[in-house]
Amino acid sequence: MTRKTRVRAGTVVGHTAAILWSALAIIPFALIVLLAFKSNTDIYTDPLGLFDVDWYPQNFVDAWNGAPGGQGFAVYLINSAIVTIVAITGCLLIGAFTAYFATLASTRVRSMIVRLFLVATTLPLIMLLIPYYSAFNALDLLGSPWALGVLYIALCLPTCVLILHSFYLGFPAELAEAAAIDGLGRFQVFAKIVLPLSKGPIVAVGMINAFFVWGETQLAIVLLQAPDSRTIPVGLLDFKGQFASNTGAIFAGLTLATIPLIIVYLVFNRSITKGVALGGVFR
């Protein structure tokens, strides 16, 4: 096999893997959208059918108005936005600061910091439910989306620090040294040079954590019990009753909940691409 043939074979394998990976991401969302336009009867009798189906857009009306006894979708959307903005803003500010200054520490201290955050990523959420509930109850914070957003900062921080720390390890020391010669302190170097040049990785980490926060249910269902404080995933559970469920409205709500994430991705996609290219240049 010639070198040219091997390159072509590698290209074919790479493209095939990319197509399969894209299909794994697109097909579930396509199924959700498909089921969102079907009645409950069609969902259970012919979930994958595309023909001879009575399309049922009423699901979106039901999802927007909310389940009986609950709130409208707009309320859940605002709560989810509050939680996500608080969590991601705090996570990125603290995480970027911690990740960069960890690279300036000694090898031993840096290793301890990385190991600490690695251990934090292994803790299952189910193990933290009772301590978090007890703390929120004692502080009278149950039902507060703002407080839940602060809690998510701690949960998102390990991922943020580990990814950004890996990026900052390859950051050119010459840039920081040149800035120091010009009279900038470490905090000024971080704010004026490091942060602007790490925009891409920061956006990527922010999106990864935003997807987690936006869809997180375990903590939200325990800590946000009041109907007017629930996020989208918790609010959609109101459509699932003990004896009957409005499954179509649930899928319609999931479709509506995905739209903001798609918009955010399309807006920041270029920044992520530039960040990946910049990281390759640094290395």
CATH number at residue 145: 1.10.3720.10
Residue showing tokens 């493209």 = 15
Domain assignment present for 149: yes
- Residue 94: the pLDDT is 93
- Kindly state the average pLDDT of the residues 272-279: 57
Domain assignment present for 195: yes
- Residue 265 CA to residue 204 CA, distance in Å, equals 9
Give the pLDDT confidence of 166-212 residue by residue, as tens digits.
Answer: 888 887 777 777 777 777 777 888 888 888 888 888 998 999 999 99
DSSP three-state, residue 240: strand
- Residue 104: the pLDDT is 83
Domain assignment present for 204: yes
Domain assignment present for 2: no
Percent of the chain at pLDDT above 70? 90
Domain assignment present for 4: no
Say how many domains are in the chain. Answer: 1
What is the band of 275 on the pLDDT scale with cuts at 50, 70, 90?
low
- Kindly state the average pLDDT of the residues 105-129: 87
pTM: 0.85
Q: What is the mean pLDDT of the chain?
A: 85
Q: Where are the alpha helices (DSSP H) in the chain?
A: 3-36, 40-45, 58-65, 73-103, 107-121, 125-138, 145-169, 173-181, 186-189, 195-197, 199-215, 218-223, 232-236, 247-282
- Residue 6: the pLDDT is 57
What is the band of 74 on the pLDDT scale with cuts at 50, 70, 90?
very high
For residues 81 and 211, is the Cβ–Cβ distance under 8 A?
no
- Residue 273: the pLDDT is 66
| DSSP letter (8 states) at residue 139 | T
Domain residue limits at 258: 9-282
**pLDDT higher than 50, residue 219:** yes
